């Protein structure tokens, strides 16, 4: 099957009926930025976009991405390497603690700012409620999203 990952069309020979998108991204295509955590689509660590929509890639069959555009954390920066404003804000606010959940957090935040360029705290909490952080970085995530929203405005 074929899919376009971070702007590059890739062909993969996999059991596309049974493999998840996450396992194909990490193990077959060498894009390891999306994390395996709960494995049941409940924590958000594996969040990637298909055609601009966030999905839990640990429970999404790879067949759902066939001939589609997939965006992972590795594809968020511009082609010349400039970080996305959310990535910049994440660094400026020192958001990550252990870091395990953070690629999924940023992918969900990207989706939020596309739909709602100036979210309130309540909007952020609602939109990010599917992304769990065991280190409790929620306050810094909120601050960084506001900071990136201001930069993008």
CA distance 145 to 71: 19
Which residues from 18-77 bind ligand FES, rule CB under 6 A?
none
Span near ligand FES by CB under 6 A; candidates 3-11, 84-92, 96-104, 117-125: 96-104
Contact 50, 69 (CB under 8 A): yes
Q: How far is the CB of 94 from ligand FES (least distance, A)?
A: 11
Beta-bridged to residue 125, according to DSSP, are none
Q: Under the criterion CB under 6 A, does residue 101 sit at the interface with ligand FES?
A: yes
**Which region among 58-66, 76-84, 117-125, 133-141 touches ligand FES (by CB under 6 A)?**
133-141
| Shortest reach from residue 104's CB to ligand FES, in Å | 9
First-residue to last-residue Cα distance in the chain = 39
Total residues contacting ligand FES by CB under 6 A comes to 11
What sign does the dihedral 54-57-61-66 (CA atoms) show? Answer: positive
d(Cα 29, Cα 87) in Å, to the nearest integer?
23
Looking at residue 58, the DSSP 8-state letter turns out to be T
Contact residue for ligand FES among 47, 87, 102, 103 (CB under 6 A): 102
Of 24 and 93, nearer to ligand FES (C-beta) is 93
Of residues 43 and 76, the one with the C-beta less far from ligand FES? 43
CA atoms of 45 and 33, how far apart (whole Å)? 10
Q: Which residues bind ligand FES (CB under 6 A)?
A: 96-102, 133-135, 137
């Amino acid at each position: 099957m074929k899919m376009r990952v971070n702007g590059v069309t890739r062909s993969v020979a996999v059991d596309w009926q049974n493999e998840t998108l996450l396992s194909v991204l990490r193990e077959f295509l060498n894009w390891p930025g999306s994390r395996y955590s709960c494995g049941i689509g409940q924590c958000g660590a594996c969040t990637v976009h298909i055609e601009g929509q966030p999905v839990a890639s640990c429970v999404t069959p790879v067949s759902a991405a066939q001939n589609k555009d997939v965006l992972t954390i590795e594809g968020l920066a511009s082609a010349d390497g400039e970080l996305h404003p959310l990535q910049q804000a994440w660094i400026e606010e020192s958001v990550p603690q252990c870091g395990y959940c953070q690629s999924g957090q940023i992918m969900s935040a990207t989706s939020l700012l596309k739909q709602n360029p100036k979210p309130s705290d309540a909007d952020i909490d609602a939109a990010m409620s599917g992304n769990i952080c065991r280190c409790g970085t929620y306050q810094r995530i909120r601050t960084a999203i506001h900071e990136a929203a201001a930069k993008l405005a």
